[in-house]
Amino acid sequence: MDAKLIVFDFDGTLGDTRANIVLTMRETIRTLGLPERSEAEIAATIGVPLEEGFAQMYPGITEEEMLQGAKCYREVFEKSRKVLVPELFPHVKETLSELMERGLVLTVASSRRSASLNGFLRDMGIAPFISYVLGAYTYFFEYASLAEIEELYADVHVGKTEDGKVELVFQHPEQAERFGYLGLKCSEVYVSDEDRYAMQALSEIVGMAIRQHVLSEKDLYGTEERVTEVLSSSPQTQAQWKWFCCLNRIERAAEPGEHGRWRCIKAKKRCIDPWIENAGRLSRISARFSDALTAFQNASQEDWLRGYSEGRGDQCGSKKLNGPKR
């Protein structure tokens, strides 16, 4: 097998969630006082974002009503989640174990929210096999409108590169170039000074919490709310968590200063050079994109960074919360 990474959907692929979704939606509909819908009508919304599901079942409802419906569904879902844990389809756990033993990276992507996904993966006993979970609203940058994204999506299909590898390819150069620049914008966010420093600081605080038995690795497969609650309330991590939450400025320097948490942080640069059908890589066709891609790849990460708070009051700006120099 040439694949190195597999992306699974969750609902209807790993977990048999149909009965859970139908029961939760029926209770939501009763709570909101909406006209009843059949099991088939409810099941037809599986796999789409909640707001779109309500619009599909009740054409003509307002955006506010869609948001209210989604909010109510999540409240009903949270109350029943421990009782209505979906079942794995037959042989899923054994298959995931075998794939992981073969060295493949296993991930899950879904329109379901990340907290819900992580909770189910943990409760169903398959979280240890999954390296990454991408749920609805995990990331949202308004770099493109929904119409633009749909246009780009429509231009993509499964094809092959010149060496025969299967890949998602674009049919038109102009769409590939638009996607390429959007991808670079996202890539720049994830290796920006702010993001690298925040992720490094967070990893140090979580690492300290695990070493001091404030958190366990199992806790990290739970909900974000639970982890942040522990970090913010535990005497061992409370001050460090408060310092982290107050960060709103980054200082860059060629050498570390005497005060504050200075870090030199190297991050992997992930980027996409789209393949265009019957034409090849975008960087070979567009000199402008090639220059932008090269500039991103060559951008230095040798400088030292210090995070601090500014204008947040004494509680956030105190020297005590600056943290020690490494």
Cβ–Cβ under 8 Å, residues 67 and 51: yes
Angle at 185 between CA 269 and CA 200, to 5 degrees: 45
* Cα dihedral: 155, 160, 165, 167 (round 10): 10
Q: Which residues are catalytic?
A: 9, 11
Q: How far is CA 261 from CA 121, 256, 319, in A?
A: 36, 9, 11
Instruction: Provide the CA 9 distance to its chain's centre, in angstroms.
Output: 14
SS3 of residue 2 by DSSP: coil
d(CA 51, CA 182): 25
Question: Which among 138, 12, 23 has a CA at the least distance from the CA of 79?
Answer: 23
- Residue partners of 176: CB distance under 8 A and separation at least 6: 155, 170, 274, 275, 276, 282
Cβ–Cβ under 8 Å, residues 236 and 229: no
d(CA 326, CA 256): 10
d(CA 289, CA 84): 49
Please enumerate, as own/partner, the contacts of 89-98 that have beta carbons within 8 Å and a separation of 24 or more: 89/13, 89/14, 89/15, 89/16, 92/14, 92/126, 93/125, 93/126, 93/129, 96/126, 96/129, 96/130, 97/129
